[in-house]
Amino acid sequence: MITKQEFIQAVVNAVKMTSGIQAEAGVVNIRLNNGNSSFIQVQCGQNTYVNVYVDDYYQAFCNGDLLAFMAAAEAVAKAKEDGEMTRKWMDYEQARSRLMCRLVNTALNKNVLNAIPSIPFHDLSITFSLMADDTGNRIAGVNNSILDHWGVSIDDLYRDALVNMQAKLPPARIESIFETIVKKIADEEERNVIEELEQAVKDAGAQPLYILTNRTGVLGTAVILYPGVLESCAEKMGGDYYLIPSSIHEFLISPVGMSPEEMCKMIRGINRTELPPKEVLADHAYLYSTAEKRIVMV
C-alpha cells in the first residue's frame, strides 16, 4: 500500500514535470473544521503559498480510484492560478465580490477560531472565505492578518459576504429528500421505486424530510443566515420545525414530531458512523419557533 507521503511526492513530481510549478513535497498539517488535514504547499510568490487539500484524493486512490492521482495533480496545478488571484484579493474592493461565509462547530474548531475572524452563532461560529469561482468548491480562508490588511470590521465582512452569497449561491428550492434522490437517478425503474417509497411514507403518516442548502450543495448550511429563509421554511412546514444538521453542507428540515431525545440520538449516530469528522456540524438539532421568529438549540 502506498503511503500518504509517497502519494504526495508522486503528485508533486508529476506536477513539476508537466507544468513546471514549484510545490513543496511534504505533508503540511493544518487544523481545519474539526481535525487535522494534509495539504501540498504550492509557492505562488516570494512569500505567498497556497495549500492544496489531498486527504480525499489519497483515500480515493487507496480505494481503487486510479484517476484520483491525476485529479490531485490537476488541483495542485490549479492552485497556482488561485494563488495569483489571491494576491489580487489583498485589495478589499476586489475581494468583496468573492466573499462567502460558512458555519462550523465552535467547540471542535476552538484552536482555529483564535486565528480567524468569526461571529458566534448559538454553539456554531460564522467564518469567512474567498471563492475562487462561483461554485463555492474552491475557497481560500480569511484570517486575522488579511482582515487587518483590509482595515474593515467583522460587521462589514459579514454584511458583504451575505450580499455576495445571496447573489451567487442562493438557496436551492426547498424540496423533499425523495425529490432530491429521484433527480440524481437516471434509471427509470429505480426512480419508480423511490417514488413508491415516498408515497408509502406519506400513507403511513410519517413526518416528511426536506433538504435545505444552497444552489451548489457546497457549504450550504450558511443559507439559514440569509434574510427570510427561515420564515420561508416555516411556511413550507406549516409552523415550527426542526433544522437537522446532516453535514456542513446541508440541513434537513422537518415539522415538529419526533422527540428531541430521539432526534439527537439519530444525529449522533449518523455523525459517528456515516460522516467524515471534517463534515460534522453539530450533534443535535435546532428548533425554529414561528412565535419567537428565532432558532433555539434542542
Return per-residue pLDDT of the chain as tens, 298 residues: 788 888 888 888 887 777 766 655 555 666 656 666 667 766 655 555 566 777 888 888 989 888 888 888 888 777 766 666 666 678 899 889 889 999 999 998 888 898 899 999 999 999 998 887 665 556 778 889 889 989 999 999 999 999 999 999 999 878 776 566 556 566 666 555 555 555 554 544 556 788 899 988 888 999 999 999 999 999 988 899 999 998 999 998 988 877 888 888 888 888 888 888 888 999 999 999 999 999 999 8
SS3 content of the chain, % helix, strand, coil (to 5): 45, 25, 30
C-alpha cell at 212: 435545505
pLDDT of residue 224: 96
In a domain, 104, yes or no: yes
96 and 144 part of one domain = yes
C-alpha pair distances (Å), 118 with each of 7, 83, 144: 34, 23, 9
pLDDT of residue 204: 46
Per-residue pLDDT tens digits for 90-112: 889 988 988 999 999 999 888 88
Residue with cell 434522490: 181
113 and 83 part of one domain = no
236 and 275 part of one domain = yes
pLDDT of residue 136: 57
In a domain, 239, yes or no: yes
275 and 188 part of one domain = yes
In a domain, 220, yes or no: no
- Of the candidates 87, 102, 118, which is a domain's last residue? 87
C-alpha torsion sign, points 191, 194, 198, 203: positive
For the chain, how many structural domains are there in total?
A: 3
Per-residue pLDDT tens digits for 200-259: 545 445 567 888 999 888 889 999 999 999 999 999 888 999 999 989 999 989 888 778
pLDDT of residue 230: 95
Range of the domain at 37: 1-87
Decide: helix, strand or coil at residue 110.
helix
292 and 179 part of one domain = yes
In a domain, 223, yes or no: no
- The amino acid sitting at 155 is D
179 and 145 part of one domain = no
In a domain, 135, yes or no: yes
In a domain, 34, yes or no: yes
**Residue 19 phi, psi dihedral angles, 5° rounding:** -130, -15
83 and 156 part of one domain = no
pLDDT of residue 255: 86
Alpha helices for 103-187 (secondary structure H): 110-113, 144-150, 154-168, 177-183
181 and 265 part of one domain = yes
Residues 6+ apart with CB under 8 A from 151: 92
In a domain, 219, yes or no: no
145 and 181 part of one domain = no
pLDDT of residue 191: 56
115 and 208 part of one domain = no
57 and 124 part of one domain = no
113 and 25 part of one domain = no
Decide: helix, strand or coil at residue 206.
coil
pTM: 0.73
In a domain, 60, yes or no: yes
